[in-house]
């Protein structure tokens, strides 16, 4: 493993540590952050997790959730101070500082040692110590390996283990994506051995819909799904009025894009969400189509080969038109 000795040295004496992750954290982002935080606290460090935005309430069960500082205008001064004073800054589950909004520039200017732990493609070069494994199924998988390399596997208790499990479970699509390796299952076996409750984690994340979220899902699948058969593509677009009508909360649109991809023959799926600032886009694909490349080339985004995201600053309708008009360029990959 790269740079484990540098990390060992960094953590030799008690340190002030700040951990952050990407905008609108998902279960891997928050789970890897809180799992690492739990471990570092056990080692005697002072740890603060700061997220660049709020996150879905179905992640609130994670141990350490109450101590997370959610960045906003109101917490800006506090966040700046923590970053300025940190001896070490851990950046988890993102590979570009633009993914953490205002926190990016504060971290860029900070003097603490920057440690990146991530599995996204094409990582930027901003960290002093890097654990970047683009083949890893989840950042939580790398966090577990880092803890093991540091010789502290025994410190991974139920609370830490369930945070890491949540990250691996969700980023592997519940152990069905091709990223689900023997190593992944070996780690899960270790976590189970330590007593994690996988039923609880699964229920908390997937079976915790509000009534309005479930009705929103029904509406979207019935009325908002477009299938472009010619290019084996399906997409869903949701307006801000529709989000409002269903009292949509952070996280309520998570997983929607997978329904578009679940249609037989569909190889490329997109979800467009009209937010106040811009249109947020999720891309998913099966097989050789790289949505990472697609998102980077056309929608200011990136991610993984089969799961990526992006952003569009033109109106929703124009964004959809742009997307549909790009499909012929990819006909060879989409159709053959």
Size of the site for ligand 5GP (CB under 6 A): 14
Please list every residue from 59 through 98 that binds ligand 5GP, using CB under 6 A: 96
| Binding partner selected for residue 282 from Mn ion, ligand 5GP, none, CB under the kind-specific 5 to 8 Å limit | ligand 5GP
Are 128 and 108 spatial neighbours (Cβ–Cβ below 8 Å)? Answer: no
Nearer to ligand 5GP among residue 232 and residue 292 (C-beta): 292
| Binding partner selected for residue 163 from ligand 5GP, Mn ion, none, CB under the kind-specific 5 to 8 Å limit | none
Kindly tell me which residue out of 132, 282, 312, 319 binds ligand 5GP, with binding defined by CB under 6 A: 282
d(CA 189, CA 166): 14
d(CA 137, CA 170): 10
**22 interacts with ligand 5GP by CB under 6 A:** yes
DSSP 145-194: HHHHHTT-GGG--HHHHHHHHHHHHHHTTTTTSTT--HHHHHHHHHHHHT
Burial of 29 from C-beta contacts in 10 A (0-12 / 13-18 / 19+): buried
* Binding region for Mn ion (CB under 5 A): 28, 93, 139, 171
d(CA 293, CA 310): 11
d(CA 54, CA 52): 7
Kindly tell me which residue out of 144, 260, 302, 312 binds ligand 5GP, with binding defined by CB under 6 A: 302
Nearer to Mn ion among residue 95 and residue 113 (C-beta): 95
Q: How far is the CB of 120 from Mn ion (least distance, A)?
A: 7
| Binding partner selected for residue 312 from ligand 5GP, Mn ion, none, CB under the kind-specific 5 to 8 Å limit | none
Are 141 and 116 spatial neighbours (Cβ–Cβ below 8 Å)? Answer: no
Nearer to ligand 5GP among residue 188 and residue 281 (C-beta): 281
Question: Which residues are at the interface with ligand 5GP (CB under 6 A)?
Answer: 22, 96, 99, 120, 282, 301-304, 307-311
């Amino acid at each position: 493993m790269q740079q484990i000795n540098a990390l060992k040295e960094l953590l030799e004496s008690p340190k002030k540590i700040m951990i952050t992750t990407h905008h609108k954290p998902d279960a891997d982002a928050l789970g890897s952050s809180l799992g690492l935080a739990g471990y570092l606290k056990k080692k005697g460090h002072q740890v603060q997790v700061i997220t660049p935005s709020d996150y879905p309430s179905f992640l609130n069960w994670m141990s350490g959730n109450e101590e997370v500082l959610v960045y906003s205008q109101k917490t800006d001064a506090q966040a700046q101070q923590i970053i300025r004073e940190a001896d070490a800054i851990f950046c988890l589950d993102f590979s570009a500082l633009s993914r953490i909004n205002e926190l990016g520039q504060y971290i860029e200017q900070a003097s603490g040692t920057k440690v990146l732990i991530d599995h996204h493609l094409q990582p930027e070069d901003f960290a002093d110590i890097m654990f970047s494994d683009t083949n890893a199924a989840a950042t939580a998988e790398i966090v577990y390996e880092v803890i093991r390399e540091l010789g502290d596997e025994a410190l991974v208790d139920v609370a830490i283990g369930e945070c890491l499990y949540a990250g691996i479970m969700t980023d592997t699509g519940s152990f069905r994506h091709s990223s689900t390796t023997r190593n992944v299952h070996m780690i899960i076996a270790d976590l189970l051995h330590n007593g994690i409750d996988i039923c609880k984690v699964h229920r908390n994340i997937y079976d915790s819909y509000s009534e309005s979220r479930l009705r929103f899902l029904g509406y979207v699948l019935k009325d908002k799904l477009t299938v472009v058969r010619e290019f084996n593509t399906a997409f869903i677009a949701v307006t801000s009025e529709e989000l409002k009508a269903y009292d949509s909360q952070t996280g309520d649109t998570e997983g929607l894009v997978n329904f578009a991809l679940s249609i037989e023959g569909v190889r490329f799926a997109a979800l467009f969400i009209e937010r106040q600032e811009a249109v947020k886009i999720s891309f998913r694909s099966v097989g050789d189509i790289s949505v990472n490349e697609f998102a980077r080339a056309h929608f200011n985004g990136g991610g993984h080969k089969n799961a990526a995201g992006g952003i569009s600053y033109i109106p929703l309708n124009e964004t959809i038109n742009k997307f549909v008009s790009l499909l012929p360029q990819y006909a060879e990959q989409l159709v053959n």
